[in-house]
Amino acid sequence: MNDDLLIQRLLDGTLTPAEHAAVNHRLRDDAELRDHLREIAEQAVAMGDMARQRGTDAPAGSLRVADKRATFTHWLALAASVALLASSAWLWMGRRDAPVLTLVDSSGTVVWNHGGEMRVNVSEGEKLAAGTLETLGEAASAQLQFADGTIISLTGESELSFSEETQKLLVLRKGSLSAQVKPQPLGHPMIVRTPSAEAEIVGTTFNLSARPDDTLLKVDEGLVKLKRLADGSSIDVPAQSSAVASLNSSLKLDPAVTPEPLTRWRFDFTTVVPPQIWRGIWHDTPEGGRMVASPYVAQKTKEGAVVTHFGVSVRTGYLNPPLALVVTETSVIRYRLKQTESAPLQLMLLTNQPAGGFGGNFECKIGRDELHPDPQGWCELEIPIDRFKPVDRRPHVRARHPTPVGNIVASFLLSSFKQDTGLTVAQFELSTLP
């Protein structure tokens, strides 16, 4: 495979895991290939600038609005993708075999890629050299610690490249992380890059999500500098505030006050289109909108076999502005749902601690006998919070995360197991018992 095709497939995300590992290895050792990648980065950024200029200067009627937006978005996305790869290149070029992070806690499947070596199901307590860590599946999570005590938590399907020499350098290619960052050395802040933004942190607590078209930052304590890669503009995001950095530089880049956590909230799929990043496929029908379960990786065995479930998720942190839902001792979760094939279900709560960090994953198994469909097949399901138990069976993990009560729920994930039962959701509600 020639280098042009190799880099094109790297940008498109069509390399196999083995090929991706080989590219990582080459970028680390091949200065000529790194230079070639830089040239493509410069060209893509230049073309992105041209697209922005044309989008601003083109005479009315010379290009349809939809076409201008498509061209503009295409070049911004390409430039951002290359910028992200260039960011990853610093990690590859500066890689050492010395440990950088320790895996403190995890659930689900955690994969570590280092120097062309890919390992599935990394064990807790392992010290990891610079490389790329992936959490596979909606319910996966990993808590990582730097030597200075800085904690990074990944949740859901996330991919993080990391390195530390003169400063901590992280590239979040997809997914979500929360961090509790110790004060960093003067002039050497921690840097976190995504496809659309760069965050500079000197010591704070925050959450960052890399979404398809933008980056969502929520700061709990301290101050984070957020730069939008589309145009280089930047803002300071203070405590108890959030901001969105988009690939579309015409959107306003301003911090907004983060709302207080809610104990009651409702989402009606029949009238509102959910964020694209939520699990499931939204359909508009004459009777109203529906969210139909889509397949996801529940786990990966040591032999590499994938276990697939079918689910619908509700993630309020991905709304704009983001919302936080906290569960209490009297919380109850309600769904209006149907299945084309009767089968048991599982509802998972993926949670974070109120001050940031992993809060544990919890599940409630729902038997067929609990589902009582009406003549149209719809069921009204109500589940009190005391039915949820820790997913992880290990005693020390259960002792750390015994209950979801008091935690912020990052995702409500309703699933059938290894079969597609046509699970469809019309409404979701978090409420409290009288």
The answer on pLDDT for 201 being more than 80 is: yes
Can you name the residues that pair with 145 across neighbouring β-strands?
102, 151
- Final residue belonging to a domain, choices 43, 75, 93: 93
Number of domains in the chain: 3
Q: What percent of the chain has pLDDT over 90?
A: 50
Are residues 348 and 381 located together in one domain of the fold?
yes
Are residues 231 and 278 located together in one domain of the fold?
no
Average pLDDT over residues 72-87: 52
pLDDT at 239: 93
The answer on pLDDT for 60 being more than 50 is: no
Are residues 225 and 279 located together in one domain of the fold?
no
- Final residue belonging to a domain, choices 93, 110, 134: 93
The answer on pLDDT for 254 being more than 80 is: yes
pLDDT at 57: 45
Are residues 231 and 340 located together in one domain of the fold?
no
Q: Look at 52 and 381; give whichever has higher pLDDT.
A: 381
pLDDT bin (cut points 50, 70, 90) of residue 42 is very low
- Final residue belonging to a domain, choices 32, 63, 93: 93
pLDDT at 123: 84
The one-letter amino acid at 228: R
Are residues 200 and 276 located together in one domain of the fold?
no
Q: Which of 330-339, 343-352, 391-400 has the highest mean pLDDT?
A: 330-339
What are the pLDDT digits (tens) for 350-394? 998 887 777 889 999 999 999 999 999 999 999 999 999 998 888
Average pLDDT along the chain: 82
Are residues 273 and 377 located together in one domain of the fold?
yes
Are residues 209 and 157 located together in one domain of the fold?
yes
Are residues 142 and 212 located together in one domain of the fold?
yes
CATH number at 340 reads 2.60.120
Are residues 238 and 292 located together in one domain of the fold?
no
What are the pLDDT digits (tens) for 99-127? 899 998 887 788 888 877 788 778 889 99
CATH number at 212 reads 2.60.120.1440
CA distance 190 to 96: 18
Q: Which residues contact 348 (CB under 8 A, 6 or more apart)?
A: 138, 139, 361, 362, 363, 391, 411, 412, 413, 414, 415
Are residues 233 and 284 located together in one domain of the fold?
no
Domain that holds residue 10: 3-93
Are residues 103 and 170 located together in one domain of the fold?
yes
Which pair of tokens denotes residue 338?
Answer: 């149907």
Q: Look at 59 and 139; give whichever has higher pLDDT.
A: 139
pLDDT bin (cut points 50, 70, 90) of residue 51 is very low
Are residues 377 and 274 located together in one domain of the fold?
yes
What are the pLDDT digits (tens) for 277-325? 899 999 999 999 999 999 987 776 666 677 789 999 999 988 877 789 9
Average pLDDT over residues 149-178: 91
Question: Which has the minimum average pLDDT: 25-29, 131-135, 274-278, 305-309?
Answer: 25-29
Q: If phi over 0 gives left and psi between -120 and 50 gives alpha, with beta otherwise, what is residue 190?
A: beta
